[in-house]
Every structure is written in C-alpha cells, then in structure tokens.
Amino acid sequence: MEPTPTPEDASSRSRRTLLIDVGSAACALTAIGGIKVVLDFLRPLLSMGSPSQWDVGPPERITEGTVLFNKENKVIVVGAERAVYAMSAVCPHLGCATRLRSDGGLIECACHGSSFDLRGQALSGPSGPLRWLELRVDRRNRLVVDTAVEVPAGTMLKL
C-alpha cells in the first residue's frame, strides 16, 4: 500500500519539476547557441555577389610586374611580359578575402593560412588555386574585368 502524499511532498515535487524544466531550457538554449556559432563559422565571409565589371583603365597602365589589388571588386590584375591577366581575390576555400603582401610577391588569406603566388597557385594552406577571371579590352580601349566569367587558369590578354 502506498503512503498518502503530504502537502510538503507536493510542494517539493513542484520545485523539483520547476528546476528540471529551467535546467532543460538552459541546456536547449546553450545547444541552439552552439549550433548557431558553428553555422556562422562555416558560412563564407564574402560572396562574389552579383555579376559586375571593373574598369581597370587603359592597357598602358598595366606594365610587366604591375600588380593591382582591388578590394571593392575583389580582383587582382597582374601585368606579365606583353600580357595581362586577372584573378579573383576571394579565397576558394571558404570565401574569405585575400590580401596582397606588402612586398607584392604573395597573396595571403588570413582565415586559414592559405597563400598563393602571383599566378594564383596555392602554396600553403587548405585552399586550391584562385579563380582566373575574364579580362578584355572594351570599345573605348580600356581593360575590363568581368567577375562573373571564370576563364581557364593561364588565360592572358596579349597587349
């Protein structure tokens, strides 16, 4: 035969139930916050955005050894021997912004330590090579990079 519950047993049970409910809610909120942090970490920091074209300027502006880095359009333009080419300044690993090292010899991604040479080849880190972008001369005789059009690596515009 079971004992009859006393009023003290009922109040302690309701406190216990309340504490269990509050603890469960706190654990659920912590788990949701943790999932959000992980998803934010995995989401690329930058996206290529809508298709756009960048007017680099006259072809004479880009001589051999010239490296133009445009943060706004996320483009790198490099002058080679009697040619010029363009690459995306967005790291293909997770979409982080790259930067040109102060000596101009390397392109670096601070997110995960990837580095690239001036031909876009990955030298270190988890990333693959940078994307090469279409570069053309328009009817006004100006160089234009189209960030929406990827071309095979090594595609150069002869000057």
In DSSP notation, 81-128 reads TTEEEEEESB-TTT-PBEEE-TTSS-EEETTT--EE-TT--EEESS--
Q: Which residue has the higher pLDDT, 76 or 102?
A: 76
Query: 72-97, pLDDT tens digit by residue?
Result: 889 999 999 999 999 999 999 888 99
Average pLDDT over residues 97-114: 87
* End-to-end Cα separation, the chain, in angstroms: 100
Which distant-in-sequence residues (6+ apart) come within 8 Å of 11 by Cβ?
none
Model-level pTM? 0.67
Q: List, for residues 9-46, the tens digit of each pLDDT value.
A: 555 568 888 888 888 989 988 989 888 887 777 766 55
Distance CA 127, CA 20 (A): 47
Say what the pLDDT of residue 123 is.
94
Q: Are the C-beta atoms of 87 and 132 separated by less than 8 Å?
A: yes
